[in-house]
A = this chain, B = another copy of it.
Amino acid sequence: MSELLDLAGIFVFALSGALMGVRKRLDVVGMAVLAEITALGGGLVRDLILNVRPAAFQSLGYVLVPLAATVIVFFWHPHVARVMPAILVLDAAGLGLFCAVGTAKAMEYGLSPLHASLLGVTSAVGGGMLRDVLAGEIPTLLYDRQLYAVPALVGSAAMAGLSAYGLHGWPATLAAAVLAFGLRIAAMRRNWRAPLARGVGD
């Protein structure tokens, strides 16, 4: 169950990576590299910090799903771009799932709730940051004022709280993921934005 949700998150992140490749006019190899790094980068950083063998280098699906996403974007990218609003919803789902799963794993490995939340957010946003840096852009996460990291942080904190009270397992993970997902969707719908520093002006 949790593995399936994980692969769904990897799939949508990989789609966003491959689409960035199309936008930058990269060839199919460049698209595949961006798809893999976008999908697996966040979890990779998480596992390096936890000092465990990265999940991406143990599971077959983790490596193959981004290739499937690349093939889909390669042949049908105008259609993929047309369903971009749907993809943004899926991306929100991926964000929610990754922050919850990442935080849960960090708690398992003995991090404090604060540090587990931080690592959960890192695993949720890390892949997208790597995608943008490799594509020669300032990470959307830094630049776009619409809330993205904050919903992930709230979801991670909820997961860490539940876990600290002994509630782990997939129902707790799903609840935290849904919370982050809902907040991200609300941020998109209502255009919730983070403030600029005083005097920088809109």
Contact = CB atoms under 8 A, between A and B. Distances in A.
B27 A145 contact: yes
Nearest to A118: B63
A137 B12 CA distance: 26
Given A34-B142, A54-B49, A57-B49, A196 B114 contact: no
Interface string A126-158: 000100011111110111010111100000000
A139 B130 CA distance: 12
Nearest to A58: B115
A196 B33 CA distance: 14
Interface stretch (A1-9, A17-25, A164-172, A173-181): A17-25
B77 A22 contact: no
Contacts of A83: none
Main secondary structure of the interface of A (DSSP, over half): helix
A26 B60 CA distance: 38
This chain: how many copies in the complex?
3
A21 B53 CA distance: 34
29 contacts: A22-B197, A22-B200, A24-B138, A24-B143, A27-B193, A27-B196, A28-B194, A28-B195, A29-B141, A29-B142, A29-B150, A30-B141, A30-B143, A31-B197, A44-B49, A48-B49, A51-B51, A51-B52, A57-B115, A57-B118, A58-B115, A63-B118, A73-B197, A75-B197, A76-B198, A78-B199, A129-B134, A134-B142, A135-B138
Interface of A: 21-22, 24-31, 33-34, 44, 48-54, 57-58, 60, 63, 73-78, 111-112, 114-115, 118-119, 129, 133-139, 141-143, 145, 147-150, 193-200
